[in-house]
Structure 1
Amino acid sequence: MAFKVLKPGVLSLLQDLGRYGYHAVGLSNGGPMDEYAFRLANRLLDNNPNAPQVEITYGLLVLQATADTTIALCGADLGAKLNDKPLLVWQTYAIQAGDRLSFHQPQHGLRAYLAVKGGFQCEAALSSVSTVMREHVGGLTGKGDKLQKGDLLAFEPYSEPYQNRVPRHAIPDYSQTNIPMIMGYQHEHFSCVEKAHFLSSNYQVSQSFDRMGYRLEGRSIAYSGDGIISEGIAYGSIQIPKDGQPIVLLKDRQTIGGYPKMGCVTTWGGSLLSQKMAGDSVHFEAIPVEEEEKESLLFEARLNSIS
């Protein structure tokens, strides 16, 4: 039993929470760009937190169900419809065999997450189904392929009544332009003036953005050091290359790099950024580690409040 892919859309990828323990051989984590939306979708269905979902970037995906199930939609509003009925995000819907589920173009945000009761069934590649196209790993084929017309997204049928939704207070505000970040140890090699410019400037998302990272355009930031030796790259690293235009490295980032880094966006900051499109404006907000820990605990509490 499955969803049959009638139209694959712009970029539709199977993702779980990511592939860990393989940086030594050059493999990135992968996983959902908007981890918060992903986790909320699985929680709505009382799924395992790591249950695979489809990450839908931009839209234009069309699926047809071959069996009954229940789905959850979270993340961006991509104009989803069940047959001809418009659907809201952040809640569950009953699906019957023969139903057609379609996604159109972004109304608000960029990436939506489609979860199914019990999770989509797919054989793991190196302990994860997460699709990393650049590394040719994960997904339905295990080779990093995005969804194609005719693919079958298998699931266990489910026909019991099941309704759930994310409480209003727990729904993210994707219009937020402040991106929380934590300053890194290399920020000491940027002058006080350059750090002030960085934290007081607005940046626009450039045309060059993908799952690997977001290139930003705005005030150029100068680095006063002599350069650094290549080192491991953490999720959310904000690199400052020679042209001074920040690059935020995300889920499909390379594992090592040698550009100086101002710091890292938080998990919540990365989720917010992943919902931005070219031309959208962002502003970095430095927060202490303690505040990030508090925000993480608050999210876990909100997640656990969904019954």
Structure 2
Amino acid sequence: MSAIDAGLRVLRSSPFIQLQDGGRFGVRHLGVTQCGALDWIAHRWANWLLGNPLTAAVVEITLGNAEFECYRDATLALTGADLGARLDDQPLAPWRSFAVRKGQRLTCAQPRQGARAYLAAPGGFQAPSVLGSCASMLREGLGGLQGDGSAIAIGDSLTWAGNANAMRQIPAEFIPQYQAAPHLQLVLGSQIGDFRGQSLFDAFNSEWLIDQRADRMGIRLNGPQLQCQRGSMISEGIPLGAVQVPPDGQPIILLNDRQTIGGYPRLGALTPEAVALLAQCLPGQTVHLTPTTQDSALLAQRRLLAQWQ
């Protein structure tokens, strides 16, 4: 695609800047994982601002270090983390739609609050659909601009086919607050009874530190050593937000790019809202795990989804 055809031309990027959409579903029996935007709430709001389908493709900008040149006038939207975005020399706050003119440059520097921002364009960014999604997944070689899972690279062209007719504003009460030490709701799993009592007390009454080993596949937590009395396990399907406990006793929270099956015991799984909050946490931050029931989590999820109705 030539620069003339582009909506945005990529001038600066990193392996952490990817094209993501609502995710790839119905293919886990093939060993293909979910992918999609880690902070699905910010992703939905970015599309809502432009009147897009809520699952349309956006650019997931992790940790900043991005720059784009506009090749045509348009209305774009930015949600999620505050990455010090600027349009030319003017600061650009997240959680809003904004007009760009041909020749302007949009930059994201580094995190001020949160870890991931979401850039949306009218109708969603265009890319080949692979197994029902254009979500990038390099390990499996699926999705992205080229269909091979690669991240957005310098020189790439981003385009879209839609038009944003009205400037929307997100109600202030719906904008998430990225707290320094969020409490993450966790639905207890079937193996919860296999953990020692002291370990369960520690799991839900301790601060957990986010390890440097954190990516789209999973996030390791550092804290008290959890002990499970269960021996070997047959591998089983892994849901989004599963909290596995390997032999070293340090939990791993599995995210969108997780493997499809695994054999470590689990405390349970984070709620979808908790997964979105975790996606905005940086290494070195602390989090708390808070137990909840399936019924309570379902009710909370329904209330959350009602925001876009």
Same fold (TM over 0.5): yes
Q: Is the 8 A contact 2:236 2:262 kept in 1?
A: yes
Among candidates 101, 104, 109, match of residue 96 of structure 1: 101
Q: Is the 8 A contact 1:68 1:158 kept in 2?
A: no
Whether 2:298 is the aligned partner of 1:293: answer yes
Query: Distance between the aligned counterparts of 1:218 and 1:257, measured in 2?
Result: 22
| RMSD of aligned residue pairs (Cα, Å) | 1.3
Q: Could you say which residue in structure 1 is the equivalent of 2:203? A: 198
Q: Is the 8 A contact 2:242 2:269 kept in 1?
A: yes
Q: Using the TM superposition, give the Cα deviation of residue 193 of structure 1 relative to its aligned residue in structure 2, in angstroms.
A: 2.3
Among candidates 40, 52, 67, match of residue 47 of structure 1: 52
Percent sequence identity over matched residues? 38
Residues 199-218 of structure 1, C-alpha deviations (whole Å, 9 max, x = no match):
11111000101000001101
Give the 3-state SS of the residue equivalent to 1:193 in structure 2.
helix
Query: Runs of 5+ in structure 1 lacking a partner?
Result: none
Q: Could you say which residue in structure 2 is the equivalent of 1:174? A: 178
- Alignment of structure 1 residues 1-307 onto 2, 5 Å: 1-9=6-14, 11-156=16-161, 158=163, 160=165, 162-175=166-179, 176-304=181-309
Give the 3-state SS of the residue equivalent to 2:202 in structure 1.
helix
Q: Using the TM superposition, give the Cα deviation of residue 167 of structure 1 relative to its aligned residue in structure 2, in angstroms.
A: 1.1
Residues 112-152 of structure 1, C-alpha deviations (whole Å, 9 max, x = no match):
00011111111111111000122111101111100111100
Query: Distance between the aligned counterparts of 2:43 and 2:260, measured in 1?
Result: 23
Query: Distance between the aligned counterparts of 1:210 and 1:9, measured in 2?
Result: 14
Give the 3-state SS of the residue equivalent to 1:134 in structure 2.
coil
**TM-score, normalization by structure 2:** 0.95
Q: Is the 8 A contact 2:59 2:118 kept in 1?
A: yes
Q: Could you say which residue in structure 1 is the equivalent of 2:3? A: none
Query: Distance between the aligned counterparts of 2:118 and 2:223, measured in 1?
Result: 30
Q: Is the 8 A contact 1:10 1:60 kept in 2?
A: no
Query: Runs of 5+ in structure 2 lacking a partner?
Result: 1-5
Query: Distance between the aligned counterparts of 2:302 and 2:88, measured in 1?
Result: 39
Query: Distance between the aligned counterparts of 1:57 and 1:171, measured in 2?
Result: 19
CA pair 157-185 structure 1, distance change in 2 beyond 3 A: closer
Give the 3-state SS of the residue equivalent to 2:295 in structure 1.
helix
Deviates more, 1:180-189 or 1:162-171: 162-171
Residues 166-191 of structure 1, C-alpha deviations (whole Å, 9 max, x = no match):
11100111115101110000111112
Q: Is the 8 A contact 1:9 1:62 kept in 2?
A: no
Q: Using the TM superposition, give the Cα deviation of residue 157 of structure 1 relative to its aligned residue in structure 2, in angstroms.
A: 6.5
**TM-score, normalization by structure 1:** 0.96
Q: Match of 1:227, as an amino acid?
A: S
Q: Is the 8 A contact 2:209 2:222 kept in 1?
A: yes
CA pair 272-40 structure 1, distance change in 2 beyond 3 A: same
Q: Is the 8 A contact 2:15 2:152 kept in 1?
A: no
Q: Using the TM superposition, give the Cα deviation of residue 99 of structure 1 relative to its aligned residue in structure 2, in angstroms.
A: 1.4
Q: Is the 8 A contact 2:244 2:253 kept in 1?
A: yes
Q: Match of 1:46, as an amino acid?
A: G
Q: Using the TM superposition, give the Cα deviation of residue 298 of structure 1 relative to its aligned residue in structure 2, in angstroms.
A: 1.8
Q: Using the TM superposition, give the Cα deviation of residue 226 of structure 1 relative to its aligned residue in structure 2, in angstroms.
A: 1.3
Query: Distance between the aligned counterparts of 1:158 and 1:188, measured in 2?
Result: 53
Q: Using the TM superposition, give the Cα deviation of residue 75 of structure 1 relative to its aligned residue in structure 2, in angstroms.
A: 0.5
Q: Is the 8 A contact 1:69 1:157 kept in 2?
A: no
Q: Is the 8 A contact 2:50 2:164 kept in 1?
A: no
Q: Using the TM superposition, give the Cα deviation of residue 165 of structure 1 relative to its aligned residue in structure 2, in angstroms.
A: 2.0
